[in-house]
Amino acid sequence: MEDMKKVGNSSCNDVLLRMGLNDNKAGMQGLDKEKINKIIMEATKGSRFYENEVKKDQQVNQRIEKMMQLKEKITTQQLLKAQLQVDKLVIELEQSRNLSNTIVHIDMDAFYAAVEMRDNPELKEKPIAVGSMSMLSTSNYHARRFGVRAAMPGFIAKKLCPHLTIVPLNFEKYSKVSKEVREILTEYDPNFMPMGLDEAYLNITEHLEERLNWPEDKRRFFFNSESTTEKDKEDINMSAKFNEDGYSSSPVLFEDNTPLMDDHPERDQSVENLIIFGTSAEEVVKEIRFRIEQKTQLTASAGIAPNTMLAKMCSDRNKPNGQCRIAPERHAVLDFLKDLPIRKVPGIGKVTEKMLKALGIVTCSELYQQRALLSLLFSEASWRNFLDISLGLGSTHLEKDGERKSMSTERTFSEINTAEDQYSLCRELCRDLAQELLKEGLKGKTVTLKLKNVNFEVKTRASTVLSAVSTEEEIFAVAKDLLGTEIDSVAPQPLRIRLMGVRVSGFLSEEERKYQQKSIMSFLKSGKETGFLRLQPGKSNQEYFTKNSEASSRGSFFDKKRAARQLNSESRSPNETVGEQVFHDRKSSANLVEETKKVTDLENSNVHKIFTCPVCFEEQRNNNLEELNRHIDDCLNGTLVKDTVEISKNDNLRENTINFFPKFKNENVDECQKTKKDHLAGTDQCASTSDNSSSNSTEKFTQIISDKLHRERQPSNLSDIARNVCMKQCLFPKRSSQGNEDYFEKTERREETSSSCLFEAKEDSVLVCPVCNSEQKTTSLVSFNRHVDVCLNRGLIQELTEKKDFPTQTYHMENSNRVGGLSRGQQCTNPSQGTKRSGLTTSQSVSKKAKSSNSKHTIEMFFK
DNA sequence: CGGATCGAC
DNA sequence: CTATGTCGATCCG
C-alpha cells in the first residue's frame, strides 16, 4: 500500500510521530499540520490507546538513551579501527555492485480508494477512505489533505474531515482488479513478485532484450476511448523532465517533445487513438502503466532501478500516476540517495528513524558518513543493512516466496473478561485456523496464543509440542492451556482482553511430512532395543506428545500445577462448566486417531515384547505396556530420588521439580570446565564427556530420547532441559571464559552475573531454571526449587520481562565477520533485501580486547 | 524455544 | 462507542 512516510518535525509530541499522524501536505481545502495534530490529540488524549503509545514511546526513548551512553564510551581509537574495517567492507561491496538488472516496482495509486471511486462516480471529487470507523486501510488524495490516512481509525478521520465518506472494505473486488493487473505484469516478467494486492516487483531485464527484436506491432496499442479520460490525453502532451544526474522523472504517461530516436514511441497524431511504445525501460513501464489504466481505469506509479530497494523508493518519487528511473550507474544511484530521508527506505520504520535521528542521521548520505559509528552501536545485521542502504545496494533478482513459516488468525473485539467467553473464543479461533491449515495441508509443532488487554498491552505465549498439530481440537488443546495460564496469572482479577489470536508455526518440512508416519512406526518398532514408551491403552495419547504432558506422565510438577490451576479455574469460575469442559477436552477430545491406531497395533503385536528400560537399561520382558510403564515409573522415581540432594521431603511439588536435573552435581563441573576450555561451543562434546561421570544413565537417557524419539528433530522436553543444564554448567561463565568479555558491559551486567558464578568460588553448581532458562545463583536446592515454583507461576517471568535489560549483542571486532561478507554483496543471501528488512538492535558491547589491541597495527594501516 | 519488537502491506 | 490483521525477521535470554 502506498504509504505516506514523512520525517516529522521534532517539536511537540512524539506520540503523534509514533502514530505517524503529524504529517501533512495540507492543501488549500485541507487542514494545516498544526490543526491536524491538535484535532488528533484532542481525540486521542487520555485514551487507553494513547497511554500505551506513551509507554511505548518511553521505551524507545530508553533504548535511545542506552545507545547514547554507549556512544559516549566509544574512543577515537575504536572509531578509527571501525572505520577501517567498515571501509574494507565498503570496497568489497562496491566491487560486487551489480547494475545489470532492470527492476521495476509497480504501485497502484491509493488502490482501494481508487477502485471504490471508479465503481461509484459519486465518490469522485469527495474525500473518501476505505475501511471502518475503527480502522482505515487507505484514503484518496482529497482526504489526505485533511490528514486522513491509512492506519488511522475512522472516527478520528471523521473529526479531521467531517465530510469524509468511509467505504467498507471489499476485498473480493480488489482481488479481482489485482488479478487483472497481474495478468498484464506477467507478460513482462512471468516471475514477477506481487507484494500484496497493489504492489509488485518485476525484473524486466530479459524482456528488454527480447523486446529489441520485436516487430513494432507488438508494441502498438490502441486507446480505448471509453476508458480514457480527457485528462489522460492531456497528460500525453506533457513533457518529461530529464535530470542530468542520470535519473529521469516523468509524472505523466507519455512524453512528446523528446527527440524521435529509435527508442522513443511514435505518437501518430493522424491516427487517433494509436500509440506505439519504444524499447527502453521507461517505455516499457509506460506501456505497462498504460495498459493497466486501459484495463482497469486505475493509475499506477512505478520505479525503475537496478535493484528492488531503489525501485521501490523510486516509485514513491512521482506518485500518483508517475514514474521514475534511476539509471544503472553508480553516480546516479548515489545521487538519488544523497538527500533522501532514511525513512523513505523500505525497512526503516518509525523506531529506526528515531534512533538514527538521535545520532543526527536523517538522510542516506548521513547514514553513510556515520557508518563506522553505526557498526559499533548496532548489531551486525543492522549496520550492514544500513551500509547496503547508504550504498544503494539491494536485491537484484526476485526470489520466489519460500514456504510459509506460520499461519495465524486473530480478532479484535469489545472487552471480553469471562473465562468462559475467552475459552470459547479461543476455540473458535482454533477452528478457523484449523480450516485454513487444512487448505494448505499444513501441520505445525508450535502454537502461539496472542492476547491484547484492554490497555493495549500485547502478550504472546507459545508452546511447542512433539507431534505437529492441525485440527481444531489439537490446536485448542494447546492454546487453552496457554490461555488458562494467563487467566491464572491475573487471578483473581478477570483477564480483560480486546484481542485474541492463535498462530501455528514450526511446520513440518516436506521430508518430515513424508517420514512422519514412518518414523513414528520405526520409533515404536525400535522398542526392541530401547523401548521408551509409556502408553496407556484406551486413553488419549495426546498427552504423550505434548511438552507439558510428557513431564506429566511422570506425575510431574507441571502436571500438578496444571491440575491445580484447573481446579482453580473451576472454583474461580462462577460457571462450573467452563473448567469442566476444558478438562474434558484435554482428556478426550484431542485424540490423535492415527497414533491411537498404531499404539493398538503395537500392543497387539508380539514382536515388540522385549524392552530395554531407558533408565536402568535392563531388559524388561513385560507382557503389557502397563507393566512396563510401571517399571519405568518406579525406576525413574527410584533413581532420581536417590540421586537428588536436599529434597524437601514434605513437598511433593518440589521433589518433582528437582527430578529434572538430579544428575548434575558438583562432581561434573570440573570435568566440564576442562572441556569448556578446549572448545568454544562444545555443547555436545560437553555432554559426551560427562558420560563416564555419575550422570551416565541420565546422559544415555537423554541420548536415547533424542535419537529415538526425535529423529525428526522434534525437541524433547526432558533431554532439552537436561542438556541445557549441562551445557550451561559446562560453559559458564560463557563470556569471561572466551576472553571476549564486554568492555562496556562490565560495569553493569557483568558484576551481576559473575557474582552468580558460584562454582568458581565455592563448590556449588549453577542451576538453570528450566522455565525461565536463567542461571540461578543458589546454594540450596530448596531455594532453587522455590524459584522454579515461582517461575512456573509466571510471576518471575513477568518481573523479568518488565525490567528487561537493554539488549546485549557483542560485536567482535577481532574476527570481524565481514570476512564472511564475501558472498553477500549483490547476489545477497537475503533475497528480498529491499522488500523485507531486518529490525534493529543496538549492540550493547564492544570487545574489550578490540580496544586494547587495536592500537599500533590499526594506526599504521590507517596512515599507510 | 519463547517472547518482544520492528516493519511491511 | 470506536485504534486492524497477517506475516517474516531479528534479537535476547
If asked whether residues A411 and A488 sit together in one domain, one would say yes
> How far is it, in rounded angstroms, from Cα A741 to Cα A747?
11
Both A172 and A321 in one domain: the answer is yes
Question: In this predicted model, what pLDDT tens digit does every residue of A32-51 receive, in sequence order?
Answer: 999 999 999 999 999 999 99
Question: Does residue A287 share a domain with residue A297?
Answer: yes
CATH number of the domain at A435, please: 3.30.1490.100
Q: What is the pLDDT of residue A271?
A: 64
Supply the DSSP symbol for A807: P
Q: Quickly give A483 CA vs B7 C1' distance in Å.
A: 28
Report the pLDDT averaged over residues A104-115: 98
Residue–nucleotide distance: A807 CA to C13 C1' (Å): 9
Of A611, A606, A629, whose CA–CA distance to A530 is shortest?
A611
Q: Hey, what's the cell of A531?
A: 523401548
A59 touches strand B (CB under 7 A): yes
**Bigger pLDDT: A605 or A631?**
A631
Please indicate, yes or no, if residue A42 is contained in any of the structural domains: no
Instruction: Give residue numbers, 644 to 703 of A, with CB < 7 Å from strand B.
Output: none
User: Quick check: helix, strand or coil at residue A449?
Assistant: strand
- Of the pLDDT bands very low, low, confident and very high (cuts 50, 70, 90), residue A69 is very high
pLDDT of the residue at A512? 79
Minimum-distance residue to C7 (CA–C1')? A406
Of A353, A375, A401, the residue that ends a domain is A401
Measuring from the CA of residue A845 to each C1' atom, give the nucleotide at the shortest distance. C12
Query: Considering the domain boundaries, does residue A33 fall inside one?
Result: no
* CB-CB neighbours of A607 under 10 Å: 9
User: What pLDDT digit, counting tens, does each position of A453-482 carry?
Assistant: 999 999 999 999 999 999 999 999 999 999
Transcribe A566-613 into DSSP letters. Answer: HHHHHHHSSSHHHHHHHHHIIIIIT--HHHHHHHHHHHH-STT-EEE-
Give mean pLDDT, residues A789-814.
36
Residues A373 and A442 reside in one and the same domain:
no
Residue A565 included in any domain: no
Closest nucleotide relative to residue A111's CA, C1' based = B9
Q: Does the nearest atom of strand B lie within 7 Å of A497's Cβ? A: no
Q: Does A421 lie in the same domain as A317? A: no
Q: Report how many domains make up chain A.
A: 3
- CA-CA-CA-CA torsion sign (A229, A231, A236, A240): negative
Nearest nucleotide to A197, CA against C1' atoms: B9
Note whether A438 and A469 are same-domain residues. yes
Tell me, what's the pLDDT at A674?
A: 33
Query: Do A304 and A203 share a domain, yes or no?
Result: yes
Distance CA A819, CA A133 (A): 53
Using CB atoms within 10 Å of the CB of residue A52, give its burial: 0 to 12 exposed, 13 to 18 middle, 19+ buried: middle
Confirm whether A34 is domain-assigned. no
Lowest-confidence region among A112-121, A404-413, A582-591:
A582-591
Q: From the CA of A771 to the C1' of C2: give the distance in Å.
A: 39
Which of A836, A864, A859, A863 minimizes the C-alpha distance to A79? A859
- Per-residue pLDDT averaged across A305-309, rounded? 98
The residue that minimises its CA distance to C1' of C5 is A410
Residue A773 has a pLDDT of: 58
Q: Indicate if CB(A169) is under 7 A from strand B.
A: no
CB A495 within 8 A of CB A420: no
Comparing A712 with A501, the larger pLDDT belongs to A501
Report d(CA A34, CA A32) in Å as an integer.
Answer: 6
Q: Give the range of the structural domain holding residue A454, as residue numbers without chain letter.
A: 406-513
Strands A810-811 and A220-222: unpaired
Q: What pLDDT shows up at residue A774?
A: 59
In this structure, of A249-253, A695-699, A719-723, the range with the lowest mean pLDDT score is A719-723
pLDDT in tens, A188-228: 999 999 999 999 999 999 999 999 999 999 999 999 865 54
pLDDT in tens, A743-761: 122 222 222 222 222 222 2
**Looking at the predicted structure, is the pLDDT value of residue A350 above 60?**
yes
The CA-based angle A733-A737-A738, given to 5 degrees, is 125
Nearest to A358 by CA among A65, A23, A83: A65
Residues A83 and A106 in one domain: no
| Mean pLDDT taken over chain A | 69
The pLDDT, as a whole number, for residue A224 is: 80
Q: What is the pLDDT of residues A702-718, one digit of tens each?
A: 343 344 333 333 333 33
Same domain flag for A455 and A310: no
Predicted local confidence at residue A423, as pLDDT: 98
Higher pLDDT pick, A676 / A101: A101
Closest nucleotide to A16: CA versus each C1': C3
Q: Is the shortest CB-to-strand distance from A824 to strand B under 7 Å? A: no
User: A60: which nucleotide lies closest, measuring CA to C1'?
Assistant: B5
Q: Tens of pLDDT along A726-748?
A: 333 222 222 222 222 221 222 22
Look up the pTM and report it: 0.64
Distance A345 CA to C13 C1' (A): 31
Query: Cα(A218)–Cα(A210) distance, rounded to whole angstroms?
Result: 11
